[in-house]
Each structure stands twice: as C-alpha cells, then as structure tokens.
Amino acid sequence: MAQRLTDPPYLKFPLRINGGPKLATRAEHIRGQIEQVLYTLSGERVFRPEFGAGVKALVFEPNASALWQVTEKRISASLIESLAGEVEPKSIKVTVEGDNERLTITIAYVLAAIGFEDQHQFTFSAGS
C-alpha cells in the first residue's frame, strides 16, 4: 500500500521531553525543517556553522530590495542542503518581502518522490 502524505512516519520537531515523542506527517516534518533553517542563526550549530538563515535578525535591517535578493539566495541555498532527498532542489522558490515593520517569506516547493506541491508563508515582525 502506498504511503499517503498524511501518514505520520516522522518525529515532530521541536523534540520535547514531556509526554514522549510525537509524530508528524511528511508535510509537517518539512515545514519543521524549513522553520529550523529560518530561525537558526549562522554559526549557532557547533558542527554545522553554515546551517541556518537567521531571518529574525533581518527584521531590523533597512528595507531594501537588494537585501531581500541576497536573503532569498541565502535561504534557497540553506533549504536545498537541508531538504536534500525530500524536495526537488530546482523547485524551491523563495520570495522575501518587507515593509517598515514586517518581513514576509514565502517558500514553495515540490516533494521529490510524489510530486506534491506545497507552499508556506512565514511572517516576522519587530515585536515577535
């Protein structure tokens, strides 16, 4: 029997001590991986110093399209490495938009094995 996208074969992140391990669907697992890339600062992981995009720090940067273009490329490169085998690398599309108070990142991709297209949007603000 073929596995469905909603079957829970993955551990849910972040891992928690209380209540034992939780399971996640493939879509939830990939979203969790994307969140790890976005929220982790470069250099934060000891054995993987290049991991992460650290986008929360970008909320305080000047609102300039040149900065967003660099950010898109940096996030794309991090996601291609982190999602290898799960997502078609060429299908990853990152869009970064910002205004005076908010940074919005949209990530679209296609799952490698089944061709399922998905998209997630993350919004960061100075207060969060």
pLDDT in tens, 73-94: 989 999 999 998 889 999 999 9
Quote the domain boundaries for residue 102: 10-125
Beta bridge partners of 124: 103
Q: Are strands 102-110 and 93-98 parallel, antiparallel or unpaired?
A: antiparallel
Residue burial 51-80, b: 16+ Cβ < 10 Å; e: rest: bbbbbbebeeeeeeeeebeebbebbbebbe
Total tally of structural domains belonging to the chain: 1
Please state, in angstroms and rounded to a whole number, the distance separating the CA atoms of residues 68 and 55: 11
- The answer to whether residue 4 sits within a structural domain is no
- The answer to whether residue 22 sits within a structural domain is yes
List, for residues 40-74, the tens digit of each pLDDT value: 888 888 888 888 888 877 767 777 777 888 889 98
- The answer to whether residue 121 sits within a structural domain is yes
List, for residues 95-125, the tens digit of each pLDDT value: 998 777 788 899 999 988 888 899 999 998 7
Please state, in angstroms and rounded to a whole number, the distance separating the CA atoms of residues 128 and 66: 24
- The answer to whether residue 5 sits within a structural domain is no
- The answer to whether residue 2 sits within a structural domain is no
Least Cα distance to 94 among 116, 115, 117, 119 occurs for: 119
- The answer to whether residue 94 sits within a structural domain is yes
The DSSP symbol for 8 reads -
| CATH number, domain with residue 58 | 3.10.450.40
